[in-house]
Amino acid sequence: MSVTLFNIEGKIALITGSTHGLGMAMARGLGLAGATIIVNGNSSQEKIDIAVSKYQKEGIDAKGYKFNVTNEQEVITAIAKIEVEVGSIDILINNAGIIKRTPLMDMEVADFKEVIDIDLVSPFIVSKHVVKGMISRKQGKIINICSMMSELGRNSVGAYAAAKGGLKMLTQNMATEWAKYNIQINGIGPGYFATIQTEPIRIDGHPFNDFIINRTPAGKWGDPNDLAGAAIFLSAKASDFVNGHILYVDGGILATIGKPSNED
């Protein structure tokens, strides 16, 4: 029974922003579990092709599509093309996002809006058009990549926190409206992970590295592959009665107020 519950073989999964980082880790997990992966990015076709090649070298069935997730017409065109060339989208992971680390007093309105547009508006746009096919088939899985900033604030990331807090509520409202069609809409809230982006601060003695190690009950940074299990669970039959939930994969950070720096 457990194999059936977590079986996603033959499913088609669109993961936005999946050419690198956590998006690639989740897409890789789904691909190794048997799903066909639709790789999305917007920076360059070359970057998408390189990512697709990496997936394929691991035996993953991967296709690449370049489109801007904040441009509704591009999204509509891309989804139609995917459905013709690959098939109906069974799983959508809204992962594309950016962060701008600027104190709110110093942040330009245009920069604030850009973060909101990519991190909050784009999941609405992509989901709105993917869910139409899911509704007609009476099944589907949508996963929005939220954040611990969906729950907490932090200096200099006000726009990001506003977007991710909004994404949590958008996830719950999607579930409110679409669960009746046998569609499950949930979120994943990653904690702090060891990626290329965090490499410069993951050094013993670096203040932020020490803060994360001490703040996380698990006592370490997350491995991007740790997200694969959560993504598979929320993509599979095992989560058929889970809806509007945010699954935090954070090593326990949100479970505790932390510990004094002198405590073992």
Q: Is residue 213 part of a domain?
A: no
Determine the pLDDT at residue 218.
95
Q: Is residue 167 part of a domain?
A: yes
Q: Is residue 258 part of a domain?
A: no
Q: Is residue 29 part of a domain?
A: yes
- Measured distance CA(129)–CA(80) in Å, rounded: 9
| Closest C-alpha among 96, 105, 244, 80 to residue 169 | 244
Catalytic residues: 160
Q: Is residue 214 part of a domain?
A: no
Report the 10 Å Cβ neighbour count for 24: 22
Q: Is residue 260 part of a domain?
A: no
Instruction: Answer yes or no: are the C-beta atoms of 69 and 122 closer than 8 Å.
Output: yes
Residues of the chain with pLDDT under 70: 1-3, 260-264
The alpha carbon of residue 141 and the mean position of all alpha carbons in its chain are separated, in whole angstroms, by 13
Query: What pTM was computed for the model?
Result: 0.96
DSSP 20: S
Determine the pLDDT at residue 45.
96
Q: What's the alpha-carbon Rg for the chain, to the nearest Å?
A: 18
Q: In terms of residue numbers, what domain contains 16? A: 2-197+223-251
Q: Is residue 205 part of a domain?
A: no
How many domains are contained in the chain? 1
- Measured distance CA(90)–CA(35) in Å, rounded: 10
Determine the pLDDT at residue 200.
87
Q: Is residue 54 part of a domain?
A: yes
Q: What is the CATH number of the domain that holds 70?
A: 3.40.50.720
Determine the pLDDT at residue 16.
98
Determine the pLDDT at residue 261.
62
Determine the pLDDT at residue 196.
84
